[in-house]
Copies of this chain bind each other. A is one copy, B any other.
Amino acid sequence: MASLTVPAEVPSVAEDCEQLRSAFKGWGTNEKLIISILAHRNAAQRKLIRQTYAETFGEDLLKEIGTGRNLTHDFEKLVLIWTLDPSERDAYLAKEATKRWTKSNFVLVEIACTRSPKELVLAREAYHARNKKSLEEDVAYHTTGDHRKLLVPLVSSYRYGGDEVDLRLAKAESKVLHEKISDKAYSDDEVIRILATRSKAQLNATLNHYKDEYGEDILKQLEDEDEFVALLRATIKGLVYPEHYFVEVLRDAINRRGTEEDHLSRVIATRAEVDLKTIANEYQKRDSIPLGRAIAKDTGGDYENMLVALLGQEEE
């Protein structure tokens, strides 16, 4: 379930634009006003606001956000990625990830695995438009060996999105996975083929059969300290248990010494319109503290206010 709240009576686009203009151009930026508008409009509404803003004032709303004199960096960046269209946002996040390697591989796995197949294709299309390159081109160019072998097919996939499941196949492929993972042959061709090409419904059936037949959870078998194994874990979680995956990213981001704002902002901005309410419920079950409170404890100011607004947990 999404966490985004949109008022029953939304002001006209022209009105929203006027208000945003005054928020940027007044004496000091009016962050509260920015939040009260942008954090409560859905993707279609935000898109229209951006168009109308550009037509009315001859300036790109996103540039106004990016150059606001008094906006703090974390707040700015969160408003920016939130305001982007979902496919443009994914293209932006993926590009950031291909620029800085090491840990950012997770972002690529996240985009490749937790979006719907169609959303991933749209993100690749937006990537073309922004970067004059393809996503898989940049990923393949910047990686080698096992990382390339896993990441390129993941970001290139256009999985079947239906619910149909072939149980005979699930059985056969759970056997293959069990053999390979038990042998620690993590980057075996067959392991990557199965994870990179099968539909999410099919993979779910395969992993259920895995647990039933072998009495083990595949994720439990993937707890080596190895960086590639961690990517494989993220792949499986992202594909089959996306809410758990996001809860884990949020816990990591919040509980770290010094909050990892990039990860926190990314998850809140990308999921608010999708399943952030479900994720927040899972979070609370797991950590016995509401996600909103955990975030409020670790962040502050307008950044905190914007996160909490997207979580749908503002106090009126």
Contacts and interface: CB of A to CB of B under 8 A. Distances in A.
Nearest to A128: B160
A7 interface: no
B198 A132 contact: no
Contact of A159 (B137, B160, B189): B137
B158 A132 contact: no
A121 B158 contact: yes
B157 A134 contact: yes
Given A128-B161, A132-B164, A158-B121, A137 B189 contact: no
B132 A160 contact: yes
Contacts of A144: 189
A124 B121 CA distance: 11
Interface in A160-217: 160-162, 164, 189, 193, 196-199
A153 interface: yes
Interface in A117-165: 117, 121, 124-125, 128, 131-137, 140-141, 144, 148, 152-153, 156-162, 164
A57 B125 CA distance: 40
Given A140-B193, A193-B140, A193-B141, A134 B159 contact: yes
Interface in A12-69: none
Task: Count this chain's copies in the assembly.
Answer: 2
Contacts of A133: 160, 199
Contact of A160 (B117, B134, B140, B193): B134
A125 to B, nearest CB: 8
Contact of A148 (B140, B161, B162, B189): B189
A19 to B, nearest CB: 38
Contact of A141 (B157, B197, B199): B197
Contacts of A121: 121, 158
Given A152-B153, A153-B153, A189-B148, A158 B140 contact: no
Nearest to A163: B132
A159 B134 CA distance: 5
A137 B162 CA distance: 14
Q: Of A121, A131, A137, which is in contact with the most chain B CB atoms at under 10 Å from its CB?
A: A137
Contacts of A197: 134, 136-137, 140-141, 152
Contacts of A152: 153, 193, 197
Contacts of A140: 193, 196-197
Contacts of A193: 140-141, 148, 152
Nearest to A161: B128
27 contacts: A121-B158, A125-B158, A131-B160, A132-B160, A132-B162, A132-B164, A133-B160, A133-B199, A134-B157, A135-B158, A136-B156, A136-B158, A136-B197, A137-B159, A137-B198, A137-B199, A140-B193, A140-B197, A141-B193, A141-B197, A144-B189, A148-B193, A152-B153, A153-B153, A153-B156, A156-B156, A156-B157
